[in-house]
Structure 1
Amino acid sequence: MDIALPLNPDFCGPIRMPVLDLEAPKSIVTLKSLLADRALTVKRPRQQPPSLIFSLPAEMLAETFLQATADDQSASSMLMPMHLHFVLSQVCGLWRAVALHTPSLWCRVVLHLAGRTAGFNGIKSLAKTCFERSCDLPLALIITSSVFDSTNIPNLPVELVLPVRHRIRHLELQLPAILTESIFKLPRNSLRALKTINITALVQDNDGSWFRSMSALEGARLLDSITLSCVYSPRTPDLRFDPYMAGLSWDRLTELRLHDLEIQCDDVFYFLEMTSALVRCSLNLRIIPPLVPVIPFTGIPAPADLALPKPKAPVTVPALRVFELAISSGSHNAPADFFFNRMVFPSLKELSIKFIEKWSLLPCATLTELQTRSAFSLEQFTLASRTGDSLLPFLQSNPLLWRVQLVLCAVELVPLVTALTLKAETGDGAPILPRLRILTLADHWPEETPASSWTHATKAVDCMVRSRRRAPSINGDSNNVRLEGFTFGSRASLSAKKIARFERWRAEGMRIRTVIVPHESQHPSRSGYNRILWQELE
């Protein structure tokens, strides 16, 4: 007997799938004792040799099943959720015995609902089967959907989470905001085994701040990794994350990611001051310039000596190693230096700063002072959509850098690549960034016009790459590392000779490519120009 499960609405019809066995084993039987039963062997004619699969140890077969199901099924797949797990359990009696008595095979429950608006009883039965077969092991529960309107969708998170709430170690949801909010409203000790949570809310116009008052997370004593993000329907304004209202235990967090949720500078200072174990942090920072004091009842700006803000104590994050910022500003040309001037990162290894607006100011002196104050030495550095002075002093102060990405930073190309060129034995000066392996340079270069200047600039780029491809033979210094990947972007095209040389380096195994960087007015999506360019270069 077969059943028809409704699947992706874009599919023309249902797929016939066999009925799932929803009965859990009546008694606990070990895998070794179960396979000792000769009834599991398949009788074959004498002229047919026995299959080699029956000589494989049961433990090795179980490990093979785990490896085969390690990768999550694609969310766009039209197959039923957990399809491969049930296929493995229906091949033969031996495979079924191994699958049903390997609890770790059923500990990761992945339910991709796509645009489903019906047939949820089958999903609940499937999840219940996985929960039973996983015995009492910790669970990873992943539920995704692409439906914004929750009118026709039952509250699956609560219905599936409540029965196994004390076993969930990892929780990942992509559902309408009202459904994800219901998880946070559970009793305080509901998710006491939770260690990592990844929530993506599908937000509509009438949805509020779904991330406030996270009472269920307050009782999760093992929680150390939080990822919160939003997917907005058209014409929905971005939401602001308020750490005062969230009620999270900041002192235990080691990883925090807030994507597509705006957070202001003062709020960042608030929770960073309380974090002592934070290792990785990714934020959408909104910089609002401080208000200029005025004389009461007059509206006249106060004198300059009174208008200066009082200096505040620096904020030290001792364990932070990775800091990723996507910065927007409340006004045009709002400076970002006053945020970095309060930060101290003694353990920082990776720094990524991306400005959402095209014109944003971040002087190199601000970054250099941050490095001097924190005494860190970066290994990876990304800077995008920033205008200011030369970045060479900051790069020179971080000689351990092996990955550098500079996108739309309004710098001159020739001085930059000249400084990155490894000198020959007869040359002078110490090499800058001797460990550089991955380099990305993309901008509207000032040298692109006139043509003679662009020829000179591309020759300097060619010389830089050639010298780093010859490392460590340059200067006989074994510390110089060969360049493994190079991405170059510009408005003007490269000459055929340069492209041919790039092709030879690619044939040698180097990851190298060129990208055309159009002007913002010529880009089909001017509002998302920066974001689209970042994605093309990553």
Structure 2
Amino acid sequence: MSTKESRATDRTRIAALNQQIQQLVTEKEALQKRLDAYKYPILTLPNEIMAEIFQHCLPAPPHSPPPFGPGSPTVLTHVCSLWRQIALAMPGLWCSISMDSAPDTLISCWLERSGTKPLSIQTNNMLDSVESSLLHHFRPHQARWETIQLRVDSQSLSTLLLPMPLLRHIELDGQDVPAGTRITEVPALRSAILWEFDQHMVLLPWQQLTSLALISTTPEECTPILQEAIQLIVCELVLTGALPDDQPQITLPALERLTLTHYLFTEEPAPTGFLEFFSAPCLKRLRIVNRLIPPSSLERLLEKHDNIEEICILGKRGHGMPTRQVQYASQHPTIKFTLEENLDEWFEDMEADQTRMAMRRLRSFIEIPLFE
């Protein structure tokens, strides 16, 4: 039962509670003020430093980041408003685009965000031609193409015949490219990787290249090209077919790195002895599959080329260095002799010409540097 005394006690208690509440509110405000004043270390960095960090999150050209998920620049836009602001103000984050799994809307978005930056366009699937409907997104930006990696069909080919003033590297599957096709308006082109390019002797301005890889080529097909490509510094040939009886000499005065290996997706013989027809006075590094080295071939090579620093023999893992190469190593202590796993190990027991994994592994074997 409420009495005068109990009501007075309740009022006193309420006043005390209100005082405690006010003290807690004051304490809360002080704590919140302290939290608001705290700066997370990552957010104290200048935007320029953050931009540099963001740039290093991406793979180096010509490799493109995935459109979504880890490794994609879109992830950076989902962390906080500041990161989103920085990322969207960086055209360099959006100028390397993969056509493999990106939807049309995303391609258009990235192209817009890339501003006026040079573009790197890539597909990891060199077995299928890029659809013309997909390539049309990139046509208005062709003057910005810097690196491209794709397989085109006859309908899409016309795109590559237009001027590409910034193009520095091209990787192209020529299986569907008509013979006699010329890609000429590419004044900055220095590096090329070509797949299945039968009879494409005039495809590129070979004389301006410094790096070239030809995958699945015969000595007869590649010799006229190499004779024109006199500025090559790096050359990699995945060879097939026998050496012709009238094989001419190939002189590459600037060549420093040469790779010769055998294309295993064919029953044609290996062009053993092809190495002997190369004259490269500046050669420093040679990678060559063991089956392409006839007896005394390396000895004659070393007699003609006194700048060689490294010879890498491509063979099967666990087989060790061939005996005669061990002898050469002991006779030439200033030259580094190494043994590297060859394509044989990867492609044994595989239907390689129908296996995407095999094609990716073949591509990983190529060491062509960009923009040297």
Q: Common fold, TM-score beyond 0.5?
A: yes
Q: CA shift at 1:378, angstroms?
A: 3.2
1:345 aligns with 2:318: no
Equivalent runs, 1:224-239 vs 2, <5 Å? 224-229=190-195, 239=196
Q: CA shift at 1:154, angstroms?
A: 4.3
SS in 2 for 1:95: helix
- The structure 2 residue matched to 1:199, chosen from 164, 172, 179, is 172
Asked whether the equivalents of residues 264 and 287 of structure 1 are also in contact (C-alpha less than 8 Å), the reply is: yes
Distance 2:194 2:34 in 1: 61
1:257 aligns with 2:257: no
Residue identity matched to 1:128: S
1:277 aligns with 2:231: yes
SS in 1 for 2:149: strand
Q: CA shift at 1:146, angstroms?
A: 8.1
Distance 2:339 2:288 in 1: 10
Q: Which residue is 2:242 aligned to?
A: 288
Q: Which residue is 1:402 aligned to?
A: 336
Q: CA shift at 1:249, angstroms?
A: 0.7
SS in 2 for 1:68: coil
Judged with a 3 Å threshold, the aligned counterparts in structure 2 of structure 1 residues 99 and 333 are, in CA distance, closer, same or farther, namely closer
Q: Which residue is 2:177 aligned to?
A: 210
SS in 2 for 1:258: strand
Asked whether the equivalents of residues 284 and 307 of structure 2 are also in contact (C-alpha less than 8 Å), the reply is: yes
Q: Deviations over 1:57-81 (max 9, x none)?
A: 1111222222223479x9998x737
Structure number having the greater helix percentage: 2
Distance 2:191 2:74 in 1: 31
Q: Which residue is 2:304 aligned to?
A: 373
Q: CA shift at 1:91, angstroms?
A: 3.1
Q: CA shift at 1:194, angstroms?
A: 0.5
> Normalized against structure 1, the TM-score is what?
0.50
Distance 1:154 1:526 in 2: 28
SS in 1 for 2:117: coil
SS in 2 for 1:228: strand
Q: Which residue is 1:166 aligned to?
A: 143
Asked whether the equivalents of residues 81 and 110 of structure 1 are also in contact (C-alpha less than 8 Å), the reply is: no
Greater relative contact order, per chain length (Cα 8 Å cut-off, separation 6+) = 2
Structure 1 gaps of 5+ residues are 1-43, 114-119, 202-207, 230-238, 292-308, 409-516, 518-522
Q: Which residue is 1:354 aligned to?
A: 289
Judged with a 3 Å threshold, the aligned counterparts in structure 2 of structure 1 residues 187 and 252 are, in CA distance, closer, same or farther, namely same
Asked whether the equivalents of residues 188 and 219 of structure 1 are also in contact (C-alpha less than 8 Å), the reply is: yes
Distance 2:269 2:122 in 1: 41
Number of residue-to-residue matches in the alignment: 315
Q: Which residue is 1:139 aligned to?
A: 119
Equivalent runs, 1:86-235 vs 2, <5 Å? 86-113=74-101, 123-145=103-125, 148=128, 154-173=131-150, 178=153, 182-186=155-159, 188-199=161-172, 209-210=176-177, 212-215=179-182, 217-229=183-195
Q: Deviations over 1:353-396 (max 9, x none)?
A: 226xxxx5743312211221233323132143899983355435
Distance 1:125 1:332 in 2: 46
Asked whether the equivalents of residues 243 and 271 of structure 1 are also in contact (C-alpha less than 8 Å), the reply is: no
SS in 2 for 1:94: helix
Distance 1:406 1:285 in 2: 18
SS in 1 for 2:296: helix
> Normalized against structure 2, the TM-score is what?
0.69
- The structure 2 residue matched to 1:241, chosen from 174, 180, 198, is 198
Q: CA shift at 1:398, angstroms?
A: 4.0
Q: CA shift at 1:166, angstroms?
A: 0.3
Equivalent runs, 1:50-65 vs 2, <5 Å? 50-52=38-40, 53-65=42-54
Q: CA shift at 1:225, angstroms?
A: 0.7
Q: CA shift at 1:318, angstroms?
A: 1.1
Distance 2:48 2:225 in 1: 47
Residue identity matched to 2:96: R
Asked whether the equivalents of residues 241 and 270 of structure 2 are also in contact (C-alpha less than 8 Å), the reply is: yes
Judged with a 3 Å threshold, the aligned counterparts in structure 2 of structure 1 residues 128 and 60 are, in CA distance, closer, same or farther, namely same
1:48 aligns with 2:5: no
Asked whether the equivalents of residues 378 and 400 of structure 1 are also in contact (C-alpha less than 8 Å), the reply is: yes
Distance 1:524 1:134 in 2: 43
Distance 2:105 2:190 in 1: 31
The structure number with the bigger radius of gyration is 2
Q: Which residue is 2:56 aligned to?
A: 67
Judged with a 3 Å threshold, the aligned counterparts in structure 2 of structure 1 residues 133 and 388 are, in CA distance, closer, same or farther, namely closer
Judged with a 3 Å threshold, the aligned counterparts in structure 2 of structure 1 residues 314 and 63 are, in CA distance, closer, same or farther, namely same
Q: Deviations over 1:284-317 (max 9, x none)?
A: 22342546xxxxxxxxxxxxxxxxx6xx763211
Distance 1:193 1:80 in 2: 28
Distance 1:135 1:407 in 2: 43
Equivalent runs, 1:382-461 vs 2, <5 Å? 382-384=313-315, 390-392=324-326, 394-396=328-330, 398-405=332-339
Structure 2 gaps of 5+ residues are 1-30, 353-357, 366-372
Q: CA shift at 1:188, angstroms?
A: 3.5
Query: What percent of counterpart residues are identical?
Result: 21
Asked whether the equivalents of residues 82 and 111 of structure 1 are also in contact (C-alpha less than 8 Å), the reply is: no
